[in-house]
Amino acid sequence: MTTANPTGDYAAGTSVSDRTAPRRLTTETKASFKTSELIAYVVAVVGVLIASQVVGSDDGHSDYFRADRAWLYVVILTVGYLISRGLAKSGSRDPYDAK
User: What do you get for the CA distance between the two ends of the chain, in Å?
Assistant: 25
**Which pTM was predicted?**
0.58
Helix (H) / strand (E) element for 7: namely none
**49, 41, 28: which is closest to 81 by C-alpha?**
41
Angle at 71 between CA 67 and CA 77, to 5 degrees: 145
Over residues 33-63, the pLDDT tens digits come to 777 888 999 999 999 999 888 887 677 677 7
Looking at residue 80, its pLDDT comes to 93
In 5-75, beta strands by DSSP E: 26-27
Pairwise CA distance, residues 40 & 46, whole Å: 10
